[in-house]
């Protein structure tokens, strides 16, 4: 015997279908929420808000277009050359760094200046 439009049996298979659709919507909302939460947590682990504030207050110089940044440490007189991944304009990440004391930097600077002068003479 088939179900007719007015006997109430025609919608008996629709209830689980509606429930399933609502369940999918709830699960997708929860997954989006968890994904956004993970992004925020990873951002706080990689660069805590306190460090971001310190970085802004220290007036760190801008990054050169070639992908190098130079930082001077005032207390220990150490120069840090950072290799920056600046493919995105919104974010810049330090890929690697190289540190040297100021005397080594001055001698390296002299060598580079002399090499540039000799290149200009030729």
Task: Choose the weakest-confidence range: 4-13, 27-36, 90-99.
Answer: 4-13
Co-location of 25 and 44 in the same domain? yes
Quote the pLDDT of residue 53. Answer: 47
Closest to 80 in 3D by CA, of 107, 100, 66: 100
Co-location of 53 and 68 in the same domain? no
- Boundary residue ending a domain (25, 41, 59): 59
Co-location of 1 and 55 in the same domain? yes
Question: Domain limits at 49?
Answer: 1-59
Please give the C-alpha separations between residue 34 and each of 16, 28, 86, in angstroms, as whole numbers: 26, 10, 29
Residue 85 contacts residue 93 (beta carbons within 8 Å): yes
Asked if the model's pLDDT at residue 42 lies above 80, the reply is no
- Radius of gyration (Cα) for the chain, nearest Å? 31
Task: Choose the weakest-confidence range: 12-16, 39-43, 52-56, 94-98.
Answer: 52-56
pLDDT, one tens digit per residue, over 56-109 is 445 454 455 555 566 666 566 676 666 666 565 556 666 666 677 777 777 777
């Amino acid at each position: 015997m088939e179900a007719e439009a007015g006997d109430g049996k025609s919608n008996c298979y629709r209830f689980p279908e509606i429930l399933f659709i609502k369940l999918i919507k709830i699960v997708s909302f929860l997954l989006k929420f968890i994904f956004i939460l993970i992004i925020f947590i990873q951002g706080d682990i990689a660069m805590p808000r306190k460090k971001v504030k310190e970085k802004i207050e220290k007036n760190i110089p801008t990054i050169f277009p070639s992908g190098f940044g130079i930082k001077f440490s005032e207390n220990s007189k150490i120069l840090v050359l950072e290799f920056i991944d600046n493919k995105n304009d919104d974010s810049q990440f330090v890929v690697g760094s190289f540190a040297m004391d100021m005397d080594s930097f001055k001698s390296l600077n002299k060598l580079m200046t002399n090499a540039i002068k000799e290149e200009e003479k030729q």
